[in-house]
Every structure is written in C-alpha cells, then in structure tokens.
Amino acid sequence: MLEVKVEPELEQLAVNTIRFLAVDAVEKAKSGHPGLPSGAADYAYVLWTKYLKFNPSVPSWQDRDRFVLSAGHGSMLLYALLHLSGYNLSMEQIKNFRQWGSITPGHPEHELAPGVESTTGPLGQGFANGVGMAIAAKMMAARFNRPGYPIIGHRVYAIVSDGDLMEGISHEAASLAGHLGLDNIIYIYDDNHISIEGDTELAYSDDVEDRFEGYGWHVQRINGHDRKAADEAIHAAVNEDRRPSLIIARTHIGYGAPHKQDTKDAHGEALGPEEVEAMKKNLGWPLEPTFLVPESVYELFSERRKLLEEAFHEWSVMFMHYREEYPQEARVWADMMGLKVPDNITDRLIGTVDMSKDAATRESSGVVMQEIAKCVPGFCGGSADLAPSTRTILEDYGHIEKDRFDGRNFHFGVREHAMGGICTGLALNGGLIPYAATFLIFSDYMRPTLRLASMQHVQVVYVYTHDSVFLGEDGPTHEPIEHLTSIRAIPGINIIRPADAAETAVAWAVAMKNHHGPTALALTRQKVPQIQRQDSQSALGLEKGAYVISDPDGQLDLILIASGSEVHVAVAAAGMLAENGLKARVVSFPSHELFEQQSREYKETILPPDINNRVVIEAASPMSWYRYAGPYGLIIGLDRFGASAPWKAIAKELGYTPEAVTQRVMEYIEQRRQEPKRPTIDGAPACE
C-alpha cells in the first residue's frame, strides 16, 4: 500500500492548500475555473496520496497509474497536485497560469507539463482516452506479464464532469468499456450539480447509476467531501475485478466560497478579491501570502514520494530480472516502446501488393496491413463496425475481447468518436501504433479526436475508405465531398490519397515512419487500374507528396494533376489529349502536407512556374487546390453533394470519365489560347 499516515489536521491543511493554489492562480490570471478544483480537492487528495502510483522523477514509467482530468477546465487542480507531488512543475509556472509560454495553459496539454497524460478540455475526450489507456494496459499485460513478473498492473483513474457524461463520446466509450469489462478503470464523477447555464437539472436528469449499470459498470455513490468515504469507495473499486468503476462523488462547486459555492459563478471565472478573502476566512486560511504551501504539506507529499520511488525501484529491479529471464520479450518490449519499424519497410510493403490487376486501394491496403502486423508488434486497431468494408482485419491475430487482450483487432462498434479517442489513448500509452478505420464520410463523427491527436503528436493511422462519390449506390449521405479539404486544413495531420496498389504500400510505409503525428489514408471502394510507370520504383515519389507519373516528349502544353482514383483518369486523358496534339504531363499528387515539406526546387520541378495551363482532377471540394492550380488553372472538382447510382454512372454524369475530362481540357486549352490572360480557375473566372 502506497499510503502515508497523516493526521487529520495536516490532511485538511493539504486539501486546502490544493484549493487555494487553484483559487489564487485563477485570481492572478483573472481567468480560469476555481470551482472544480475547490470542489474536487478532498477526493483528489485521497486518490493522489493513497492510491495513485507514479514517479515524479520518471514520468514515463510504463507501469505508472494514469490520471486523466477529463474535466480539463479544472486544470489548476492537476497543476497543484503535480507541483505538490514533486513533478517538475514549479511555483513559477503556477503563478504563470494561462500566460504565454507557460507549461500551465488554460486546459492541460500533454507534452507541456510532465504528468499530464492527455490533452483535455473539449468535454468527453479524456473519458475516451482513458478507456484507450486501460485497454493498452490490458494488452501489454497480456503480452508481457509472466509468472512472478507483473510488469504491467496499473490502473487508469479519471475525474469526469457532468459535461463529460453528457457528450456522446462518453456514452460510446462507456458502453465499450463495460462491454470489455475494463476493471482497471476507476472514474470519479464530480457530481456538483452545476453547469455553465446553471443547475445541471436544467438539461440533465439521467439516472447516472442506472445508465452506467446499463453499460455494465460498477457504480458507487459517495459524499465527495467525505475523505473516508472516498477512500473506501476507491478501495472497493480497486478490488472490483469484472467491471469498470464509476464513483459518483456529490461535491459542492466552489467549496468554501461563502457566496458562490453551489452557483455557476464559481464555475468559470475568478471569484474576485472579496469572495477569495471570504473563502479564506471561512476555511481558516491565511489571507497572505497567496500561493501559500505550508512546509508540512510539502513534507507530506515528499513522504509519499519516497514510497512511490521505492515502488518504482522494486519495479525496476523486477524488470531487470525480467530482461534476463525473458530476453526475447524484453527485446520486443524495447522495440515497441521505441515504435520501431524495419528500415526496409517500404520495400517490404511494396513487395506484398499485386501490381498486375485492378484493385480497390482499400483491398491493397488490407494486404499491406497484414505485412505491417508481422513486422511491427505494436500495430493494432479496428473499425467502427465496417471491417469487412474497410478491409482492416489483421488475419493472423485475434480480437480484443473481455478477458482476452492478447489480440490486435478491435470491434469498436458503431462508435467512430470513441474509436478516435480510444486510439489516441492507446498511442498515449506508448508501445502501440493504433489504426482507426471507417468510411471517409464518417471522419466527421470523430473530428474532435483528429485535431487532439495532432496536437499531442501521437502516431495514429486513420484508414478512411469509400473516399469519394464513386462509392456509388449508398448515395450522397455516404459520399464525402468536403472531407479531404477539411482534414488537410487541420494542422499537423498528413492525409494521403494513393492512386493504386504501389502508392498504397508507400503511403502505409510513410504513415508507419511518421512517429510524430497522425496520418490519414483516403482509399477507394471501387477497383482502380494499376498505374503503368516508367520504373516500378517511381511510386516512391509519393514520399514527396507529388511526383511525375508521365511526361510527353517536347514542350509541355499543360499539366494534369490528380489524386487517388482520379490519377488513372488523368493518365488516360493524357493519352487522348496526345492524339489531339496536346502534350500533357501527369502528376500524381497524393499528399499536400508531404509536398509542402519539399524544397522549392523540388516543387518547381513538378509544377514548373512557367506552365500556367494546369488541370486538377479530384472528385471533391476544389478548395484546397487553388494553391496548386494557379490563377489560370482549371479544377475539375465537386461543389455539390453526390448521388446514388452505380459508380460508373456517377463518373459519367459528373464528368470523371477520361472522355469527359479530355473534352473539358480541350475546351479549357481553347479558351486559354483565345484569352491567354483570362483566368479560369475552377471553370468560372476567378478574381485574378
């Protein structure tokens, strides 16, 4: 037991220290959320001083308990606890709460302050991240634990708010957590009855107990200010061995603030000097100095730190012996923690695909993924109930199930949003490189998780199939139009839309080598021909984002730029144009982000500045292409919703056959000849 014995007075002193560090920091910043920290301080103190297992000196300890503040707006609670616990988060930083350049921003950001396990604030996200971390712990334990060597045995604790529980993502994640029986999850619901608009009862009357029991959770109710009750409840949750635990802790927001406790005024703004003074008097706290931490409180936490470091030491010794006794497992462990990928992965993946016959890029992707699974032990993932369509099952490996965590495939259910948040959590655990699969259209259901994954630089691969109107009969409700643009617009995500099997293999290799952020792959439902290349290696051009597929002899009349399933259309059109005496270069342009990482020289070899005749062919919103089409270009894009019909009918009706494209290009070139200075972007004249 990692518990220090503490006198009640000192305990109370410590709890109030947490409260007033938060209150003073918010007051100084004149911005923030004092209510949650002061309401949650009691049970949070119990959790952090009696249960939570970590090592402030080694924040990355793999067997540490994870603590997620899903109610990220209560960030000062976490910063106070990190500071007191001995993490490298100085009082200076607490005084710089919410200021430029501090590691104590308004909402906790992973990679800034040590001990912040995930970036939270957008409600519900932390709830789902924690479920991913809990699954990861079960997976690592199943893979690496050996008799006498419980390498992984940690838990995931979180504080969740009414807002977290109202958000759909928390329902999805809770349902899956219950389904998988994640008994290593212990979430405390800070039930303070107050939301921004007032009493939660204005909008919220769930019987949370019924609801979570319906999800298969173990639910307890306590008075959140009764530390003994909190201790007993957490203890019971720790001993629960079949179900995830939810502890409903009734608390009072802004606890101790005489006029603002239990009101929304305590939620999201500074209490104001008078109320702070009244609160300090009320709780018997000195008015001065602010940011007071009594020495005895520092001592209390450093006592606990000693226990934690002993625990860490014992674990390290155990792991040392483990390495000796299980060198093979230890090697795999090291490879996984290093997110190691074979140096020759690109060749290996190219080697797996069949370039002799037409194939949907989702099919080629499915083949490639089997090889990745073989050479990357941390590769795992699943789809939101679309595996047969997304082709994302790792055939030689089992499925993650209740009591069965040695597999590498997930059934996420029809829960795209939770899938996204869970994959972020799997990646945050370390050792795992997860993928999340669904149709491109449904990336909208999980968008908040994409930007947070990018912000946290985690390696997650989004496998988005059925990537255009050419998915056909399912119709406009399932046909993406704006999605390529809207993902390209998110900072830090690479999105790649490969043209055929070879490009699909290279795209996966690029995704596997990109350890510093997420990658999204856009793949076709329909079969596409294999691009005929001068040399088989040319698909490596994908690594540069855009490259030349074919060049005519002599002076170029125009450049055809295309991505994904429109590349073979461009190739065919180039042939037809040649018959009409027009020399067209064909550029495959699978990734804007990769292209933008190239030198200006490289870019200009692909898109020479003196070639103004440019035609972009992508069956999607043209918005992201103006940059490359140039002022005299033509973008054959879609600024409308799709249609329900067999895909070849759609291609014909919307003008994406080689014949239709050739026709439009001929008209465009004719227009350019007549009015060389008349801009024609997007068919309609642009303003340049």
Give the residue numbers marked as catalytic. Answer: 416
For a second copy, the closer CB: 246 or 345: 246
Note whether 430 binds a second copy by CB under 8 A.
no
Among 1, 5, 8, 100, binds a second copy (CB under 8 A): 100
Among 32, 244, 434, 498, binds a second copy (CB under 8 A): 32
Cβ-contact 671, 681 below 8 angstroms: no
Question: Within 431-490, which residues bind a second copy (CB under 8 A)?
Answer: 441-442, 444-445, 447-448, 451-452, 454-455, 472-478, 481-482, 485-486, 488-490
Burial class (CB in 10 A: 0-12, 13-18, 19+), 677: exposed
For a second copy, the closer CB: 49 or 456: 456
Note whether 203 binds a second copy by CB under 8 A.
yes
Q: Report the sign of the C-alpha dihedral through residues 211, 212, 214, 220, in that order.
A: negative
Question: Within 215-234, which residues bind a second copy (CB under 8 A)?
Answer: 215-216
Note whether 497 binds a second copy by CB under 8 A.
no
Given 3-state DSSP classes, what are the helix, strand and coil percentages for the chain, each rounded to the nearest 5? Answer: 45, 15, 40
Number of residues that bind a second copy (CB under 8 A): 123
Nearest distance from residue 633's CB to a second copy, in Å?
Answer: 9
Q: What mask, x for binding a second copy by CB under 8 A, covers residues 568 to 607? A: --------------------------------x--xx-xx
Nearest distance from residue 256's CB to a second copy, in Å?
Answer: 23
Note whether 111 binds a second copy by CB under 8 A.
no
Q: What tokens does 652 get?
A: 């014909």
Q: What values do phi and psi take at 525, rounded to 5? A: -85, -40
For a second copy, the closer CB: 529 or 631: 631
Of 154, 164, 133, give the one whose Cα is nearest residue 64.
154
For a second copy, the closer CB: 53 or 83: 83
**Alpha helix stretches (DSSP H) within 465-599:** 483-488, 501-513, 567-579, 592-596
For a second copy, the closer CB: 39 or 256: 39
Among 74, 163, 381, 518, binds a second copy (CB under 8 A): 163
Q: What values do phi and psi take at 158, rounded to 5? A: -145, 155
Cβ-contact 252, 262 below 8 angstroms: yes
Taking contact as CB under 8 A, which single stretch among the options 318-326, 359-367, 387-395, 663-671 is the one that binds a second copy?
Answer: 387-395
For a second copy, the closer CB: 205 or 356: 205
Note whether 272 binds a second copy by CB under 8 A.
no
Among 172, 467, 543, 557, binds a second copy (CB under 8 A): 172
Note whether 132 binds a second copy by CB under 8 A.
no
How big is the chain by its Cα radius of gyration, in Å?
A: 28
Among 90, 99, 534, 597, binds a second copy (CB under 8 A): 99
Of 453, 483, 449, 448, give the one whose Cα is nearest residue 465.
483
Note whether 679 binds a second copy by CB under 8 A.
yes
Note whether 110 binds a second copy by CB under 8 A.
no
For a second copy, the closer CB: 205 or 239: 205
Residue 291 CA to chain centroid, in angstroms? 35
Q: Report the sign of the C-alpha dihedral through residues 189, 190, 193, 198, in that order.
A: negative
Taking contact as CB under 8 A, which single stretch among the options 202-210, 234-242, 320-328, 573-581 is the one that binds a second copy?
Answer: 202-210
Cβ-contact 191, 158 below 8 angstroms: no
Question: Within 43-72, which residues bind a second copy (CB under 8 A)?
Answer: 72
Burial class (CB in 10 A: 0-12, 13-18, 19+), 375: middle
Cβ-contact 34, 21 below 8 angstroms: no
Report d(CA 157, CA 319) in Å as an integer: 24
Question: Within 300-329, which residues bind a second copy (CB under 8 A)?
Answer: none
Note whether 122 binds a second copy by CB under 8 A.
yes
Note whether 31 binds a second copy by CB under 8 A.
yes
Among 178, 431, 498, 541, binds a second copy (CB under 8 A): 178
Note whether 645 binds a second copy by CB under 8 A.
yes
Cβ-contact 183, 244 below 8 angstroms: yes
Please name the residue that has the structure tokens 């103004």.
612
**Alpha helix stretches (DSSP H) within 86-147:** 91-95, 125-144
Of 217, 240, 225, 103, give the one whose Cα is nearest residue 170.
217
Note whether 138 binds a second copy by CB under 8 A.
no
Give 470-486 as a 3 state SS string.
Answer: HHCCCCHHHCCCCHHHH
Note whether 271 binds a second copy by CB under 8 A.
no
Among 290, 352, 538, 612, binds a second copy (CB under 8 A): 612
Nearest distance from residue 8's CB to a second copy, in Å?
Answer: 36
Report d(CA 686, CA 633) in Å as an integer: 10
Note whether 395 binds a second copy by CB under 8 A.
no
Element (H, E) at 321: helix 295-325
Element (H, E) at 669: helix 658-674
Nearest distance from residue 424's CB to a second copy, in Å?
Answer: 13
Note whether 114 binds a second copy by CB under 8 A.
no
Q: What tokens does 304 get?
A: 């606990």
Longest Cα pair distance anywhere in the chain, in angstroms?
91
Residue 264: count of CB within 10 angstroms of its CB: 17
Note whether 418 binds a second copy by CB under 8 A.
yes
Q: What mask, x for binding a second copy by CB under 8 A, covers residues 521 to 560? A: ----------------------------------------
Note whether 162 binds a second copy by CB under 8 A.
yes
Cβ-contact 369, 433 below 8 angstroms: no
Note whether 646 binds a second copy by CB under 8 A.
yes
Taking contact as CB under 8 A, which single stretch among the options 52-60, 81-89, 415-423, 499-507 is the one that binds a second copy?
Answer: 415-423
